[in-house]
Chain A
């Protein structure tokens, strides 16, 4: 059930619209519900060949030799593709936006760095023939020590995963092994705090699990061009990546996609297009390269694991004075997009709360596992899990209601965020108020009356008397008055330490409609039951 709460923030909107806001049926609905929408793999092409890759059996090993002579003679095999056949074998996805160094081969050369890393490709008349031929390839490995834990990987003497980043961390700004966030003085905040809470959180990897696995079909076209039917989430990103790896001008590639059977971030890596194009080029025939479900599950890049440590200093009246975060992204053997996510993670700290002292170090760490990549909420999902579990623990520790505790600390218009930008267009408080009301979760009147639009960016000492703007710039790290002075919220009543009664606010904030008052709120439900007004 979905209810639109039009009465909240109504003064900031023009609702006099005709098409926007309508529950119009999707343009592509008929095709989807009748099973006739065309996906990349719905193109039937005469003479289609199939590419499969040989994958490493070891998490970390030197390749001593590869013998593909029997495979090359196997029935149906048209071509073996070796690392030396790839025009530009080394690439990193974000080189398109000049971020990071080329660190990942399309086909491994001398070393494999994760179990399942592609070593060699076979192009054959059927997927079955390609798989049979792969079984005939003999690879001789010298296993190397491997590392799988992000903190182990950072210790001196840990096996080096990737020679491009020998210390197993992405390099930020050519000088740091992590992304920093510094705001205020956390040590001073901890010293003033009534309670310190320090915790460790671990998010395991997960699989995007799209119904349609990654894949593409490359078709030689007239005049030296190639048409590529693809499941990519980012058409030009994949086109430009494929052009770079194949050392082709981008206008020789004609990418066609647009309808995808589930992405969730797992179809940005351009896993199949470069080799499909190369195979089509080498054979002169259309070539399909699609991942099997097993490949998609284990080698098609998952959401990476993240380990997050949080230390908070909190007052018994509910104010959070300081938050310190140390986060490790498990990038796997190569960078892909994890370096980007670490910066996004740092930007998201300390969550949607105004905390005067924040300190964070975020690491993008290389280990000998399948490279991880973007997934829905990239850089944020694991952090939100850690932060919100932590917020619950803090609320319990000081004996405060967890929703009231969040409302008290929520950022408001005009507050200064830890990345030194002013908060605006905030609505966390209102979401908490509405959810509490809908769930019959009791919160006290003063919390029902708070607003994202009032009380931000000023000294909040508990009333309307002091409205002096006090834009917070972080204090010098060692000197200066206690920082929290500029950040004081109205001290909320915690059972153990009831605060003095707050004087009435000079301007009562706009309160959301009282419970039950949903008059005029259009209701829709396209998922649960029927729509009603």
Chain B
């Protein structure tokens, strides 16, 4: 009786947004009279960071500090239409809509500033710290706050913008499946190291090493949050969870977290993540979506690592100790596939 270690790998890609497109999102951006911006959305923040990502995109596009932007989500009376928070579409679709709205608002802001400074709008730039200045003559500047006050009370302009992003719906050829499923894809490779106890059948995930290509990491902390959380979900899917333990038999379904198995904090393993950025031509600052893909490579990488450790293939999820033991018994014991 012994514990055996093995490593397994998986490489995947993931399509961004609803399959075939046809899933629009809109955004409205406007300034209050003192130069603070609101983004109105009907998109949902599930915890993934929708508010924060769109806030940074809006601030970058407007050229103002992120503190001067606030994102309001999910009121159908004030937020324009969004298809929803799913299909890894939030960053890509909503981000692009916010970017378009912010561009329109920025154009008005620059015109208002130009009128105050008596220059051409094309000669102005934002400094990203709350001021607008003449290119090459930074002493000639005006604060965004003063621009907003002037626009509101003197010029009669609304510093606001509308944005929508839509990938047109693709046809599908019924005979061949020819279609345009997505405009961009994110990528990943994940290596899982596991330990398999050949006496109990228990599998412990010891370490994950991964590389994710995400287009652009708009906020590295949110990327990390997604990738770590997702890998945890993947390990849980691979080894623990199911509401139908004897599928397709429907017996013995769990009723609560007492008998629905999931890993606890003590089962979390170190995860060494590298992030690559190959910008998507149609992504906001090149960004793709990572919401869904981050659980996917973990499942096969763990299964492949189990094979490397003890030489058995478990092709049915979840890979419970019972399945491991039965497979080991059928095989006549553990036989590490190869050292790696």
A binding-site residues for B, Cβ under 8 Å: 1-6, 8-9, 12-13, 17-28, 32, 59, 97, 115, 148-150, 172-173, 175-176, 179-183, 199-207, 209, 232-237, 239, 253-265, 268, 293-294, 297-298, 302, 305, 330, 340, 343-344, 346-348, 351-352, 360, 367, 369, 374, 376-381, 384-389, 391-393, 396, 402-403, 406, 410-411, 418-421, 425-428, 430-436, 438-439, 441, 452, 522, 524-528
Contact B224 A28 (CB under 8 A): no
| Closest chain B residue to A345, Cβ basis | B19
- Chain A's nearest CB lies how many Å from the CB of B275? 5
Contact A202 B85 (CB under 8 A): no
Question: Which 5 pairs, one residue from A and one from B, show the smallest C-beta to C-beta distance?
Answer: A234-B84, A258-B74, A388-B300, A181-B177, A347-B181
Choose the segment among B113-121, B158-166, B243-251, B327-335 that binds chain A (4+ C-beta atoms closer than 8 Å).
Answer: B243-251
- Chain B's nearest CB lies how many Å from the CB of A481? 21
Contact A5 B274 (CB under 8 A): yes
Contact A12 B296 (CB under 8 A): no
- Chain B's nearest CB lies how many Å from the CB of A215? 15
Q: List 16 A-B contacts (CB under 8 A).
A: A207-B260, A234-B85, A235-B43, A259-B74, A263-B44, A297-B253, A348-B15, A376-B230, A376-B292, A388-B10, A420-B178, A420-B179, A430-B276, A434-B189, A435-B274, A438-B274
Q: A234-B44, A435-B274 are in contact. List 16 more A-B contacts (CB 8 A).
A: A1-B273, A27-B71, A181-B176, A182-B175, A202-B316, A204-B245, A206-B243, A233-B46, A234-B82, A258-B44, A258-B72, A262-B46, A263-B85, A367-B248, A381-B295, A419-B181
Contact A179 B292 (CB under 8 A): no
Contact A388 B301 (CB under 8 A): yes
| Closest chain B residue to A527, Cβ basis | B228
| Residue B32 is within 8 A (CB to CB) of chain A in the complex | no
- Chain B's nearest CB lies how many Å from the CB of A428? 5
Contact A297 B307 (CB under 8 A): no
Give chain B residues whose Cβ lies under 8 Å from the Cβ of A302. 243-244
Contact A236 B213 (CB under 8 A): no
How many pairs of residues, A versus B, come closer than 8 Å at their CB atoms? 430
Contact A235 B42 (CB under 8 A): yes
| Closest chain B residue to A236, Cβ basis | B81
Give chain A residues whose Cβ lies under 8 Å from the Cβ of B77. 254
| Closest chain A residue to B291, Cβ basis | A376
Give chain B residues whose Cβ lies under 8 Å from the Cβ of A452. 278
| Closest chain A residue to B285, Cβ basis | A20
Interface members, chain B 140-199 (any A CB < 8 Å): 172, 174-182, 184-185, 187-191
- Chain B's nearest CB lies how many Å from the CB of A293? 5
- Chain A's nearest CB lies how many Å from the CB of B176? 5
Contact A419 B277 (CB under 8 A): no
Query: How many angstroms from the CA of A524 to the CA of B227 in the assembled complex?
Result: 13
Contact A237 B304 (CB under 8 A): no
Are A24 and B44 also in contact (CB < 8 A) when A1-B272, A439-B191, A522-B220 are? Answer: no
| Residue B37 is within 8 A (CB to CB) of chain A in the complex | no
Give chain A residues whose Cβ lies under 8 Å from the Cβ of B222. 26
Instruction: Output the residue of A59, A239, A297, A387 with the most chain B CB within 10 A.
Output: A297
| Residue B200 is within 8 A (CB to CB) of chain A in the complex | no
Query: How many angstroms from the CA of A435 to the CA of B114 in the assembled complex?
Result: 50
Are A294 and B255 also in contact (CB < 8 A) when A430-B211, A430-B213 are? Answer: yes
- Among the listed B12, B73, B210, B299, which residue makes an inter-chain contact with A352, where contact means beta carbons less than 8 Å apart? B12
Contact A432 B243 (CB under 8 A): no
Give chain B residues whose Cβ lies under 8 Å from the Cβ of A209. 241, 257, 260, 262
- Chain B's nearest CB lies how many Å from the CB of A446? 18
- Among the listed A19, A340, A421, which residue makes an inter-chain contact with B180, where contact means beta carbons less than 8 Å apart? A421
Contact B42 A435 (CB under 8 A): no
